[in-house]
Structure formats: C-alpha cells, structure tokens
Amino acid sequence: MRFLLLFSRQGKLRLQKWFTPVTEREKKKVIREMTLMVLARPPRSSNFLHWRDLKIVYKRYASLYFCCGLEDQDNELLTLEVLHRYVELLDKYFGNVCELDIIFNFEKAYFILDEFLMGGEILETSKTAVGIAMEEAETLQETMEEYMSKPTY
Amino acid sequence: MSPSVRLQEMIRVIRGARTQGEERGVIQRECAAIRAQFRQADNGTRSHNLAKLLYVHMLGYPAHFGQMECVRLIASPRYNEKRVGYLGAMMLLDEKQDASLLITNSIKNDLSHSSQYVQSLALCTLGCMGSAEMCRDLAPEIDRLLRASNSYIKKKAALCAVHIVRKVPELGELFTPASRSLLSEKNHGVLHGAVVLITELCERNPDTLEQFRKAVPELVQIMKGLVMSGYSPEHNVAGISDPFLQVRILRLLRILGRNNDTASDAVNDLLAQVATNTDSSKTAGSAVLYETVLTVMDIKSESGLRVLAVNILGRFLLNNDRNIRYISMTSLQKIVQTDHNAVQRHRGTIVDCLKDQDASVKRRALELSLALVSAVNIRSLMKELLLFLSSCPPELRAHTTSGIFNAAERYAPSQRWHIDTILHVLTTAGGDVRDETVPNLIQLITTATELHCYTVHKLYRALVTDISVQSLVQVACWCIGEYGDLLLRGECEETESVQVAEDDVLDALETVLQSHMSSPATRGFALTATMKLSTRITHNVDRIRSIVSIYGSCIDVELQQRAVEYNALFKKYDHMRAAVLERMPVIDKSSPGHTNGESTGGSIKDMEPTKRTQEVVLPQEPANQVCDLLDLLGGSGEPPQPSPALSTTALGPVSSTAGGDLLDLLGGLDVTPVPPSVIVYEKNGVTLKLQTDKQTDTGMTITLTATNSTDRDITSLTLQAAVPKSVQLQMKAPSGDVIPAHGLGQVTQTVLLNNPNKVSLKMRVRVCYTSQDVVCQDTVQIDSFPSPAW
C-alpha cells in the first residue's frame, strides 16, 4: 500500500497516512486528485480505479470515503477487507463511530491505525489484539499523567 | 481529560468558522499561540499544542515550525508526550528533512526501553519514515528484537525490518536467519510479519529465494491448518480463518514456486484444496480465491489445476458484484496470452460487460475483448466493438480506435471489409484516431486495386455529407485525386451507381479548401487532389487552373508553395504534367515511408514536384539482414522514377558531382594519384565503377561511374541504392542519364553514407537503363569498399 486517505463527502481530509516518502506538494496533488476521482464516481460503481501506475481502492462508509493506493501485486479484494477491518476497529474503540469522532479524536484514529498497519502492510490480523493494545497504552498514559500530577514530597 | 479539551475546543472553533477567511484567521491566532507555547519552558501542555498543530497541518496549513518540537517531545520521558511526538514525526518529518536525523538517537534509546509500548512507538516510526542512514544504524537493534522479545514486539520488528530491506536491500542478509525461525511462531501477527519479510527478502535476492524454497512444506502446513481449522473468533472474517494471512502465504508460495518444478509440485495439492474449500460468497473468500488463481497461473501447476482456476474466473465473471467481475477480467487479461482458448470460452460474457454502466468494468472488458480477437471471431467481435465505439466514454475512444485498427489489420477477412471497418471508425470517431491512420489507410486502399472504384465512391459520399473529420477528409481528398476518373465514370459493381459530374467533384474539393474547419494539412491534400484531377477530367481544366493560381498568394506557406509549383507545372512544364500526375504505384507496406505519419500526409505519399537540388533519400531496410535489401528494392518503396527524370530534364546544368570536384582539386597538386576504383557491375557493355572519395569513422563518400563500351548510347540510366538499417544514405543528383557510346563519356553519381553505429557497410545498387531499345535492370551487391585515395 502506498497511502491511505480518509475524506468526507465535501472533500475535506480527515486522515492521511503515507507509506512512502512523498513531498508536500506531491501529497497535496495526490489528495486533490483522489478526492476528485472518487467523489465523481456514481453510486453503484465498482470500488476499483486506475490512476497513474497505481490501483486505487475506495469504500464509502456513511459520510466518509476510505481510499488507498495499491501497487501492482497487492490484492484489491483483500484491501477492501483491510478497510473494513479498520472501520470495525474504530467502531469498537469509539463505540458506534461516526465522522465527528474521527475529527475530534484524530490522534486516536492514528494510534489505532499504527497498531493495525505498518509500512503499508498489515501488522495484526486478530480483531481483539489491537483493541487490547490500545487499552493498555491508554492506561500507561494515564498512569504517567497521574504520576506527573502527583505532588512530589 | 481536561487538557485534551483545549484541542477539541480549538477544533470546534475552527469548524465553526463560516468562511475560509475566518478559518484562516482562527488558525493564524492558534498557530501564534502554539509557537509562543513552544518557546516557553516545559509546562505540561506541549503534547496538546503539538496535537493542535497536527490538526492544523491536516487541514493543509504549513506546520514546519513544529518539527523541532517533535524532536524534543520524542526525547521526553513521558509516554503521552513521546506518543504525540512520534506521531508528529511521522506526519511532519520525512527522510528529506534534516530534523529527522536528530531523532535517530532517541529511537535507538527507545528501542531498548523497558516498556514495550515505548519500543513499539520507536519501531513504528522507524518503519514509517526511517531514512537509509537511520536504517543502517539501527538494523542490528531490529535484528535483536526479532529474536528475543515477546510477540507484540516481534511482529512490529518484522515489519520494521521489511521497511529497512526496502530502503537498504543489502541489509536483507542480516535478517534472513531470524526470519526463518519466525515461521514456527504461533501468533498470527508474528507469522504474518514473518511471511511479509520473507517475501520481501526473496523478491530482492535470488540466493535467499533458493534458501527459502526449503520452507515450502512448512508454509503448506500452516496454510492447510488455516483452511481446515474450525471457527476461530479472533481471526474469522465471514467464515474464512484469517484471510489476510492466507493471502500473504499464497503470494509467498507463488514467488517460491515460480519457475521451479519441485516447489510447484509440493503446492499443487494445497492449491486444489483451497480452491475447492473456500467459500466465495463474501469478499474475504473471493480475495483468497483470487490470490489462489493468481498463484496457480504463475507457477508450474498441472493442467487440471489451471482449468480449475480459469473456471473460477469464469464463475467470477458471472457474479453480480461488480468488483468481482472487474477482478476476474483483470486476471483473465493476465492469462489471455498463455491460455487463450480457455478464455475464449467466456468471450460472450466479456463482450456483454462492454455494455456495463461502470467505466472501470468497461475499460477492462475493452482490453480483454481486444486481446481475444482472432481470425475466427473477427467479424462478430468487430460488430460489437464498433457498437461500443459509438457509445463509449470519451477517455476510452482513442484506445478503442487504435485497438480496432490493429485487430482489423491482423485479421481482416477481406480487403473490402477492412476498408469498410476503417471508414466506419473514421465516421464515428474520426477525431480520436492516431496520426498514422491516414497513411495506413491510403496504403491499404492502393493495394486493394479492385476496390478503387468502390472506395472512391464511398469516400466521395462521405465527403459530401460531412467535412469536419480531418482524417476522413484527407483520405477522401487523396482518393478523389487519385481515382477521380473512376468516380466520374459512374458505374461501379459494388455500390449503386451515381452520376457524379466533374463540377460536383470540384465543388466538393473547393468546399474543403475554403472551409474554416479544414486544417492546413487537409487543405494541402485538397489542393493536390484538385491538381491531380487536371489530368483525369476533360472539361474543367480551366477551373482547376484558376483555383490553383488563386492559392499562389495564399498566406499559408505550404499551400502557396504547392500552388506556385502547380502553376509552373501548368505553364512551363505542361508537357510533363501527365507524367508527374499519373497514378501512383502500389505502396509497399514494409517501407518506412509508410510509417511516416506526419500530419501533412507524409511527403512521400503526396506527389510534390521536386525542388532544384534533387536528393533522393531512399528508405532504410526494415530487417536486420542485408538480404532483405532485395525486398526493399523489389517493392519500390517510393515513386522515385519521375523525380530523377524531372531533375535531369527540367533542370539545366546539374551540380557537378563531388567526385568530379575532387579530381579537380587533386588536379591542382603536382602528384595526383588516381583513387582506386572497383568495378562492381559489368554487363551489356555497361560498366559501373565505384570509388571511395572520403572515408571517416562514421561515414564515407563514394562515386559511382558508369561507362558504355557499346556502339550505341545508353539512355535512361538510373541508379538506386540501399544500405543496412542504421546507415543513412544520400544520393546526389547524377551527372546525366545518357552514357555516350564507345566510352566517350561517363555518368557519375555521388553517394554519401553516414554510418553512426559503425556497422559493417554493405550496399546494394540497382542499375536500370535502356540499351538498344531494351530496358535492362540489374542488382549488384557491394560488400567491401575500396580504400580511399588517402
């Protein structure tokens, strides 16, 4: 996978993850073209597109479009499953996730993504493992915070 | 948590902004505040400020001033600050920024941290944006983590190693031993990471590939376990147990089994098992089946398995889900070359997909249909393709037209069908065809001699209907010019006869000439066609004369030049007009003049009177062997005969050959050695000698001299030459075409050869002459050239 983008129906970016080094200008260009291409698709069309030398897979969940750029040897149908799994993980974490959750807690969305994918490849295939890791990291964070806010004697 | 509310508050405020300007104002204020906060000492809010900055960055505003803050936060001992710091590093820093090097040390320390979550942060960041230097520095650490840690870290280390191998392939050897042992892990995450790592190593290094072939049985075992295992709640997706891992293992097996019989054999059973046992009602199952099919087609599998794979693809093709149909066509495209017959069986469904609403599916169906065209199905398939062309989306039109042309060229059942098809395409989508179409079509028409009448009638009708499609108009003009007499004769077996008057034809051509829709090239075609008609019609020659003279003052330089030359042809050289404008010989397909797709119609095709210093540049031979030169000369690549005739008779004193000049130069010296010349042809009293005037590293100049020892003059002498492919040939004008008898005079012609690739020079010369009222023609091959005078 080269990149993963989330954007709304109006074309506003909600999450971007780049798995290869890309310049800022190129990133903006790709984002613009992806939003244009994906938003222009009629409702019941197939989820696959071709752009430059990449295969683009996108899926719409409520008001958010999840869009990835794949290389030639990647399996498109499996990528649909990957996107679905990510949505499921978000759903589990936030409890009935909606776009606002991702807007206001974007850093959490990134942390979940980093537990699920790394370098464009799947890191963890188990549904429960990601959730457990997130919980433990949260407790670690809270512990640290409590520790820091405790007055020193 | 109270501090985080400030981030959310900011987001709320930004979203509340009603206009772009208001939003910009809010963000500027916030950025100023964040910058101020960064400058202050540590006060516990740094991570939230950075988080705010990252949000602003995602909206598209510049955030580079946060880079150093990321570095500072990563070095902080607090987990929440580290977390946000690493996130910022992944978003704001990439390997091109200098600041990224600064975090190398922090990452190194964090890789040995006591908390696995801190370790995982470091691994994640390294695996996401690690530069080549960072990777080289930290690779041993990663290797250590691969061997001796818990599965949570192991899986992350594995994917981090994948990134390192991608960045610095030489480090792959470092990870090979560790990755081998990872295959025995039970944890799916680790297993998945291991398989990805091994795939990456094998793809980059053939020795590693050899090594890992021994792991095939182990992989088969794992895969079998997954396929046959019962329900596992943790990994189950729509009835398939861990499809992600299954797909990756299949991909690895594909790489290991490629071009290797033993590995492929070991995998055959497994693939059959997976293909039959996987439930494909949901996407997950289809994904696994898809990967299986790809693997079957790529390795050396037995034929039964291949048939099974193609059948699976056929089943996919009938699936209701558009995605699955798309996927199946993509896969069929890959195998259509090797398993052509198997794919042919599904041709009907594929052609139906041409009518699908979805643009992606249409594109795939088009590619596949073009690949399936064969001599057997050409007629029916072409009907479908032409139907498709009339309703296809604009972005596919150019591709469709070129595909149709290629298919028609290869499998046309008859010439008439071929011409009809091309004409149909031109009328439907003439604006999207490639430039070579016009010369190609013209060449085709000239070869179909029986159909000239039919073709010109049809084209005339098309021209009268519509003159907006340039390619069609160009071809029509050319044909009317060439075969105008057939058009005016009226009768034609193939179509119903229509009486066409000379005035009508001239009207049509004039409309094209004057229309604002015609491109300059088209107008050139029309003018030349009008000129050609002057020899083919009887009554309206004056009209043609006046048309031509009008364009003598046209603004377009090309048209003006043509008109002036045609005028000259009318006035001064009227005796030659018939010869110059006579019908062209059949154009040989193999000559490169035919592929010269200039939009001016190709100067070789269009019969332009030659200019003063005639330089006949003959085409290069298409094939590598010298023996193919014969085909070239036999096929008369271009109509050169009138041109040298024109140059020698119309022009007065011809520029003397370089050979002659050379001798004059040498005459000035005291000692004038005669350059050695070789007799290359001697027959019927005609002797042709060759001498090398000048030879450099990349070329030579030679002079051909013809003498006549009979007692009658030899007339109409022409010399033509052909050379190997990479050599360029230029023949200067001959000194004359009559060789006086009794050796009293000679004809010389200079030839310049340019040989940039320094191939061995060979040349074939064709000599044509009339001796004692008998036309003779001979070809002689010259394999070695004499050395020059100095």
Question: pLDDT digits over B436-463, tens only?
Answer: 778 888 888 888 878 888 888 888 888 8
> Is B258:B209 a contact under the CB 8 Å cutoff?
no
Question: pLDDT digits over B476-485, tens only?
Answer: 888 888 888 8
The set of long-range contacts for A98-103, using a CB threshold of 8 Å and a minimum separation of 24, is A98/A62, A99/A8, A99/A14, A99/A62, A99/A63, A99/A64, A102/A6, A102/A14, A102/A15, A102/A64, A103/A14, A103/B11, A103/B15
Which of B434-438, B471-475, B651-655, B696-700 reaches the highest mean pLDDT? Answer: B471-475
Residues of B in contact with A48 (CB under 8 A): 323, 326-327, 360
pLDDT at site B358: 82
Q: What is the mean pLDDT of chain B?
A: 80
Report whether pLDDT(B354) > 80.
yes
Residues of B in contact with A110 (CB under 8 A): 87
Residues of B in contact with A19 (CB under 8 A): 128
Kindly state the helix (H) or strand (E) to which residue B545 belongs, with its residue range.
Answer: helix B541-550
pLDDT at site A30: 94
> Is B143:B174 a contact under the CB 8 Å cutoff?
yes
What band does B643 get if pLDDT is binned at 50, 70 and 90? very low
Q: Which residues lie across from B684 on neighbouring strands?
A: none
Distance from CA of A64 to the nearest CA of B (A): 16
Q: Which residues lie across from A8 on neighbouring strands?
A: A64
Residues of A in contact with B63 (CB under 8 A): none
Question: pLDDT digits over B752-766, tens only?
Answer: 888 877 777 788 888
Report whether pLDDT(A150) > 80.
no
Residue in A50, A75, A149 to test binding to B, most B beta-carbons within 10 Å: A75
Rounded CA separation B216/B196 (Å): 15
Kindly state the helix (H) or strand (E) to which residue B352 belongs, with its residue range.
Answer: helix B347-353
Distance from CA of A120 to the nearest CA of B (A): 9
pLDDT at site B590: 56
Q: Determine which of B73-82, B276-285, B320-329, B593-602 has the lowest per-residue pLDDT on average.
A: B593-602
Kindly state the helix (H) or strand (E) to which residue B154 belongs, with its residue range.
Answer: helix B151-167
What band does A145 get if pLDDT is binned at 50, 70 and 90? low
**What's the whole-number mean pLDDT along residues B552-564?**
86
User: In a 3-state reduction of DSSP, which class is residue A18?
Assistant: strand
Note the pTM of the prediction, 2 decimals: 0.69
Q: HSE of B495 in the Cβ direction (CA atoms, 13 Å)?
A: 19
How many CB contacts within 8 angstroms connect chain A with chain B? Answer: 157
Q: Determine which of A122-136, B125-139, B448-462 has the lowest per-residue pLDDT on average.
A: B448-462
Question: pLDDT digits over B172-212, tens only?
Answer: 888 999 888 898 888 899 999 999 999 999 999 888 898 89
Instruction: Encode B77-113 in three state secondary structure.
Output: CCHHHHHHHHHHHHHHCCCCCCHHHHHHHHHHHHHCC
Which of B284-298, B639-653, B710-724 reaches the highest mean pLDDT? Answer: B284-298
Distance from CA of A62 to the nearest CA of B (A): 20
Report whether pLDDT(B430) > 80.
no
pLDDT at site B720: 84
Give the ipTM: 0.92
Which of A38-47, A60-69, B713-722 reaches the highest mean pLDDT? Answer: A60-69
pLDDT at site B245: 92
Rounded CA separation B712/B693 (Å): 30
Residues of A in contact with B113 (CB under 8 A): none
Q: Do B325 and A85 touch (CB under 8 A)?
A: no
